[in-house]
Structure 1
Amino acid sequence: MLMPPNKFKQALAQRRTQFGLFLGLANPISAEILATCGYDFLLIDAEHGLNDTRSVQAQLQAMAPYPVQCLVRPAHHDPALIKQLLGTGVQTLLVPMVDTAEQARAIVASMHYPPKGIRGVGTGLERGSRWNAVSDYFAKGAEELCLIVQIESRTALENLDEIASVEGVDAVFIGPSDLAASLGHLGQVSHPDVKAAIADALARISAHGKAAGVFCADATQAASFQESGASFLAMGADTGLLRSAALKLLAGLRPQSGADNASAGY
């Protein structure tokens, strides 16, 4: 059996623009529905969404028949958690809260077997190797791994050049909400200082030869970020899309109630 190719990693290397969504519902049915919609990637969020390794694997299995690429954001940098997620079959990790090059190098080590890294070997129990059905998994599996580090603090911006230079980091992703908070603008991702910092960071990442990404729920702003160097963009989340669609439907039936719900919720 052949190792599934990581087409997301291939697209990053070619700087082909990719659009995706975050998945926080922790449900294989909703994940499969979104897998039919034509997005380039879907990112299972285990940092803020209520996902664990079981729900991650179930969603990977649900989305496997479709061409969409599947990414996962873990809750933290723990090598044991990274090992488990790779065991479920995750090929691309987006790791949050990376502030230093030292942290980035530690994450790279967590994703690889010795002597390159510290990942434990247990392929006979793991979906990642298809329970040892993948021939030459130790070589082929490593080739398809993709690491995106997420920077979202003032400290990370200060260390961005060093982080982007770490071998084994394929891309750098900007988290606007936490970055805004770190810059003193909590809840103001559209603040001019935040937008300027993001644009500058995207350009710096690209200058280092790494793919740059960002979360952006505004299509107009997305075009601006692409001009600054972003080649992959997360355009929203399943939770937000569900709520927005429900409010829109209700507003069409009872305009006043729909408007009240919208303002109260946001």
Structure 2
Amino acid sequence: MKNPLKEKLEKGKSVLGSFLGIYSPPLVEMIGYAGYDFVVIDDEHGAFSPTELEDMIRTADSVDLVPIVRVSYDQSSIQKALDRGALGIQVPMINTKEEAEEAVQKAKFPPRGRRGAAYSHRAAHYGKEKGKNFLDESNEEILVIPHIETLEAAENFHEIINVEGIDFPFIGTTDLSVNMGYKEEGPNHPEVRRVVERIYMEAKERDIKIGTVANDATGANKAYDKGASYVGIVAITVIANALGSVLQSTNK
């Protein structure tokens, strides 16, 4: 088991992916053929059955697209995403050191965690991979990415990122702005920007990678300029904007 996304990040490269919250294997293929590095299958806000989640992960593998799952709040969500072959998880609403530790515990096999071990699932190639090699490689290669998306999380940032087994944090700017009470202004509110800038600054000082979300190329480039290495655009937003742009540009 190798995770090319983790390898790129460790080499200091920036990566670009796409969030996808609808069941559409063909769209996963298109994202892969376009040359993106990863897809975040959004099981927090999206609507996926367990079988559909596995289909999306399998499709990502077929086009050399690293499958990451933004897990739901279900207690078994991390286990099921990883057993189906996800090479990373994004965990929403991590607010404390203890919650970050809990996420790591669910994602790692003993002795590093308490993920349930089995070899009959897709991640272990239905029994072809097993034993120490599979367990150790899974612990090493799978990315654990906590979301920093509340003021509490931002205030506990240094404790969260110091948890052993956490790879890097992901800033959820929309949730952060709502949590801070700026529902109208959103992420562009000066107070939200101030908190986000502080997170970027602390990450830079500690030489920690940062992930975040963007709506388009301009937003992605701004994130890279601030210091992000891992950026996910929202596929549905890109598609909706493109459809609207075509309509506005026609002589209808």
Name the TM-score, length of structure 2 as normaliser: 0.92
Q: Secondary structure at the match of 2:229?
A: strand
What is the deviation of 1:51?
2.3
CA distance in structure 2 between the aligned counterparts of 1:207 and 1:70, rounded to whole angstroms: 29
Shift of 1:226: 2.4
> How far off is 1:156 after superposition?
0.3
Aligned positions of 1:1-266 closer than 5 A: 3=1, 5-76=2-73, 78=75, 80-124=76-120, 126-134=121-129, 136-187=133-184, 188-235=186-233, 237-254=234-251
SS at match of 2:188: coil
Per-residue Cα deviation, 1:218-260 (whole angstroms, up to 9, x for no partner): 544443432332111112x2222222222222223356xxxxx
5+ long unaligned stretches in structure 1: 256-266
Q: CA deviation at 1:77?
A: 6.4
Specify the SS of the correspondent of 1:115. Answer: coil
Tell me how far 1:206 sits from its aligned partner. 3.2
| Contact 2:216-2:238 within 8 A present in 1 as well | no
Distance in 2 of aligned mates of 1:10 and 1:38: 17
Query: How many residues were matched structurally?
Result: 249
- Alignment-derived partner of residue 259 in structure 1: none
Matches of 1:208 and 1:165 in 2, distance apart? 10
Whole-angstrom CA distance in 2 between matches of 1:112 and 1:77: 17
Q: Any stretches of 5+ residues in structure 2 without a counterpart?
A: none
SS in 1 for 2:169: strand
**TM-score where L is the length of structure 1:** 0.87
Q: Which moved more, 1:103-112 or 1:44-53?
A: 44-53
Whole-angstrom distance in 1 between the partners of 2:225 and 2:242: 30
- RMSD, matched Cα: 1.8
CA-to-aligned-CA distance 1:76-113 (integer Å, 9 cap, x gap): 262x2211111000111011100001100111010112
**In structure 2, the residue corresponding to 1:150 is in which secondary structure?**
strand
SS at 2:240 equivalent: helix
State the distance in 2 between where 1:29 and 1:63 align.
10
The alignment partner of 1:230 has SS state of coil
The sequence identity of aligned pairs, in percent, is 28
CA shift in 2, pair 1:229/1:27, >3 Å: same
1:213 alignment partner AA:
G
Of the structure 1 ranges 95-104 and 133-142, higher mean CA displacement relative to structure 2 is found in 133-142
Q: Tell me, yes or no, if the aligned pair for 2:66 and 2:87 is still in contact at 8 Å.
A: no
Aligned-residue offset at 1:153: 0.4
Residue identity in the other structure for 1:137: F
Partner of 2:210, secondary structure, is strand
**Matched residues in 1 for 2:155 and 2:237: separation?**
32
